[in-house]
Amino acid sequence: MSCVLIGVGVFILRFVPGAAILPSFVDFISIPMQEISNKVVDSASDVVTTNEKTTEEYEKEIEKLKAENRRMRTIMIDYYDMKRENAQYLKFYSLKKQNKSLYFKMATVVSRDPNELFYGFTLDKGKNEGINVNDPVITENGLIGRVYSVTANSCKVKSILSPDFKMGVFNTATLDSGVISGKKSLADDNLTAMMYISSQNKMNVDDIVVTSGLGGMCPKGMAVGKVKEIKQDDYDSSFYAVIEPFDDVRNIIDVFVVTGFSGKGDIVTDALS
């Protein structure tokens, strides 16, 4: 726009009488333009000055953002903990509805010994919650272990993948009986064994195996797993069944400890009656 006005002024100087007024005209044009330019520069300087922050101010803002981030993380952690607990309570009430004579304590796996070959674990509940040695440890799907050591606020569990785990079981379809006891060759595949079965057994793949109740250590009829195959032991030629538990014992997190049930501590003479 300023170029156009100056061009007009030059035209007036050359072709219009009395055009000696050009200097004044140019001043008239250029002075306001200069003022506008100065104002724009001053305004930009003001913006830069206004937005300028000290290192301390930036550091304070960063710390404020970090604190907010920590607060949001805590909220998310609490949310997921509550969600998991609610899911566990639903499982608890479902189990209680199906097994009214059973008393449970909900517990969570808090540690695993990396040197433990059979995937035992430690729970966050102990004597203060009424838990004792030999209490069965289950999930909503079935038996996964038993307590073998207890402190005031924690307990250690031996899984059904361990050879040290011993519990009477039977096949619901054929009534063949035996003892659940793990094998080293099976544990890493989340498999255990039903030992001491008869050579004349009638068991089949996918048959369901449950607890017999012998010894009063565990309620009768607690699900253990299903038959994967029948094998003959390489050492003594006895037969055993490979059993797949209904849960992955190696990665279990939330469990129930059975602290009481009808017949606890009683020796059952006829497991199938």
pLDDT in the model for residue 74: 77
For the full predicted model, state whether its pTM sits above 0.75.
no
Per-residue pLDDT of the chain (273 residues; tens, 9 = 90+): 544 444 444 444 444 444 444 444 444 444 555 554 555 445 545 544 455 678 888 888 888 888 878 777 777 766 666 666 666 656 655 666 666 778 889 999 999 988 899 999 999 999 999 999 999 999 989 999 999 999 999 999 999 999 999 999 999 999 999 999 999 999 999 999 999 999 899 999 999 999 998 888 888 888 999 999 999 887 777 899 999 999 999 999 999 999 988 778 765 444 333
Burial of 101 (0-12, 13-18, 19+ CB in 10 A): exposed
pLDDT in the model for residue 178: 96
Kindly state the helix (H) or strand (E) to which residue 150 belongs, with its residue range. Answer: strand 142-150
Find out whether 110 and 124 touch, Cβ atoms under 8 Å.
yes
Q: How far apart are CA 146 and CA 162, in angstroms?
A: 11
Please give the distance of CA 235 from its chain centroid, rounded to a whole number.
42
Q: Structure tokens of 220?
A: 């009768």
Q: Which of 132, 105, 119 lies closest to 247 in space, CA to CA?
A: 119
Q: How far apart are CA 121 and CA 119, in angstroms?
A: 6
Find out whether 258 and 209 touch, Cβ atoms under 8 Å.
no
pLDDT in the model for residue 71: 79
Q: How far apart are CA 141 and CA 135, in angstroms?
A: 17
DSSP 189-245: TT-EEEEEE-TT----TT-EEEE--GGGSS-TT-EEEEEEEEEE-TTT--EEEEEEE
Q: How far apart are CA 37 and CA 24, in angstroms?
A: 20
Q: How far apart are CA 47 and CA 25, in angstroms?
A: 34
Q: Which residues contact 213 (CB under 8 A, 6 or more apart)?
A: 168, 219, 220, 221, 263, 268, 271
Please give the distance of CA 255 from its chain centroid, rounded to a whole number.
14
Q: How far apart are CA 67 and CA 210, in angstroms?
A: 53
Quickly tell me which residue has 């402190």 as its tokens.
151
